[in-house]
């Protein structure tokens, strides 16, 4: 099969992904082989490729927002049949045994595996999914529309849940890329008023088109105090500005798996029972609930499509904030 393979972490500007032949994987017990049709590009892929996340498997095929159809199944598979359309997300499998799994917090599993990081992912013609962690894709979404839902969408949904945002409250987004452009549609559906803080004029414009009440620069002060805020950008220097925008008792959610250093700040920014929370991937329940809500709204993802062989170009565009919405690789 054809795949984009990372043999060693390197800056994306050096185009480190090799478009090459790779062995077609074979499903084991409880696994399905998926013929990939689309795989969305995520900032976490950049963190893997550039080594900001320590290497766990080398070489590795990145990609964890996978949509395709089941080609064949390994022993013990009962949920899906050949030909069914499914999605594979970041959380590939968990141990089911650690304290977090037993407590229903599988996103914190001590021995989890991750698609495109500890196991090969979807920048390829075929990928393996663990049946119990594979999602059915609502029929209303095309493959290219569905792919960004599997990380940008699910993680944004979990961030909204963790923020505690309620109908009629004000919510700020810091960074307005793939996750935010989906999360705003959920937040508006729930009746929240959304404010977008992001550096690129085209992203500010997209936020306004999607129903934001206001859009301004990354550290610009919104015109009102917020009940909650979510930082999607991997930039720790935003934290003080986001805290300053919160009401007393407000919650700041950090939505990335990696973030640059957070600078020191005066305690006054945190005082008043403001809360900072991080989000560590998602549970399967988050994914199931989000995909149901996404179909009900319905969510409309905005995508820029690249061929699989153009993965380096897509990732360079993502790093330079050159993608309006989400980048998606189309798999031949």
End-to-end CA distance of the chain: 10
Residues 261 and 145 in one domain: no
Return the CATH number at 191. Answer: 3.40.50.720
Consecutive H or E run containing 38:
strand 31-40
128: which 2 tokens?
């393996």
Rounded to the nearest angstrom, the gap between the alpha carbon of residue 239 and the centroid of all alpha carbons in its chain is 20
Q: Tell me, yes or no, whether 141 and 202 share the same domain.
A: no
Residue 144 and residue 164 in one domain: no
Proportion of the chain in helix, strand, coil states, percent, rounded to 5: 30, 25, 45
How many Cβ atoms sit within 10 Å of the Cβ of residue 168?
A: 10
126 and 217 both lie in a single domain:
no
Quick check: helix, strand or coil at residue 36? strand
* Together in a domain, 48 and 173: no
| 53 neighbors 116 (Cβ within 8 angstroms) | no
Q: Are residues 252 and 122 in the same domain?
A: no
In angstroms, the CA 141 to CA 36 distance is 16
For the segment 117-147, what is each residue's pLDDT rounded down to a tens digit?
Answer: 999 999 999 999 999 999 999 999 999 999 9
Residue-level pLDDT at 158: 98
pLDDT at res. 48 = 98
pTM of the model: 0.95
Tell me, what's the pLDDT at 21? Answer: 98
CATH number at residue 325: 3.90.180.10
- The structure tokens 């909204």 sit at 160
Long-range CB contacts (within 8 A, 24+) of 254-258: 254/278, 254/279, 255/155, 255/156, 255/159, 255/179, 255/230, 255/231, 255/279, 256/43, 256/231, 256/232, 257/44, 257/47, 257/53, 257/281, 258/44, 258/47, 258/52, 258/53, 258/234
In a domain, 283, yes or no: no
153 vs 255: CA distance, rounded Å: 12
User: Could you report the per-residue pLDDT of 20-77, keeping only the tens digit for each?
Assistant: 999 999 999 999 999 999 999 999 999 999 999 999 999 999 999 999 999 999 999 9
Count the neighbouring beta carbons within 10 Å of the beta carbon of residue 146.
Answer: 28
pLDDT at 262: 97
129 and 234 fall within a common domain: no
127 shares a domain with 216: no
Q: Does residue 69 share a domain with residue 90?
A: yes
Instruction: Give the pLDDT score at 88.
Output: 98
Query: Which pLDDT tens digit goes with each residue over 195-245?
Result: 999 999 999 999 999 999 999 999 999 999 999 999 999 999 999 999 999
Does an H or E element contain 17, and which? strand 17-21
Distinct helix (H) and strand (E) counts, the chain:
9, 17
Q: Number of folded domains in the chain?
A: 2
Residues 143 and 209 in one domain: no
Residue 95's domain spans which residues? 2-150+300-330
Q: Same domain for 50 and 137?
A: yes
The 10 Å CB-count burial string (b at 16+, else e) for 252-276 is bbbbbbebeeeeeeeeebbeeebbb
């Amino acid at each position: 099969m054809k795949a984009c393979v990372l043999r060693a972490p390197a800056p994306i500007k050096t185009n480190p992904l090799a478009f090459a032949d790779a062995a077609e994987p074979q499903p084991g017990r409880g696994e399905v082989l998926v013929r990939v049709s689309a795989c969305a590009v995520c900032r976490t892929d950049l963190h893997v490729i550039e080594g900001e996340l320590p290497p766990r498997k080398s070489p590795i095929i990145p990609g964890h927002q996978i949509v395709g159809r089941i080609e064949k199944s390994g022993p013990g598979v009962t949920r899906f049949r050949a030909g069914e359309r499914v999605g594979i997300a970041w959380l590939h499998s968990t141990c089911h045994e650690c304290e977090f799994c037993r407590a229903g917090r599988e996103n914190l599993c001590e021995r989890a595996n991750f698609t495109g990081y500890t196991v090969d992912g979807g920048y390829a013609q075929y990928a393996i999914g663990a049946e119990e962690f594979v999602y059915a894709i609502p029929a209303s979404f095309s493959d290219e529309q569905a792919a960004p839902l599997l990380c940008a969408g699910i993680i944004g949904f979990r961030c909204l849940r963790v923020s505690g945002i309620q109908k009629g409250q004000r919510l700020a987004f810091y960074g307005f890329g793939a996750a935010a452009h989906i999360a705003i549609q959920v937040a508006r559906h729930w009746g929240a008023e959304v404010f977008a803080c992001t550096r690129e004029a085209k992203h500010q414009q997209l936020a306004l088109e999607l129903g934001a009440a206001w859009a301004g620069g990354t550290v610009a002060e919104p015109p009102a105090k917020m009940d909650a805020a979510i930082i999607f950008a991997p930039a720790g220097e935003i934290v003080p500005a986001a805290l300053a925008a919160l009401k007393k008792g407000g919650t700041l959610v950090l939505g990335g798996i990696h973030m640059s250093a957070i600078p020191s700040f005066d305690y006054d920014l945190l005082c008043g029972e403001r809360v900072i929370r991080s989000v560590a991937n998602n549970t399967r329940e988050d994914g199931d609930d989000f995909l149901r809500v996404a179909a009900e709204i319905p969510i409309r993802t905005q995508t820029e499509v690249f061929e699989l062989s153009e993965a380096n170009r897509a990732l360079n565009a993502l790093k330079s904030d050159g993608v309006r919405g989400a980048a998606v690789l189309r798999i031949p």
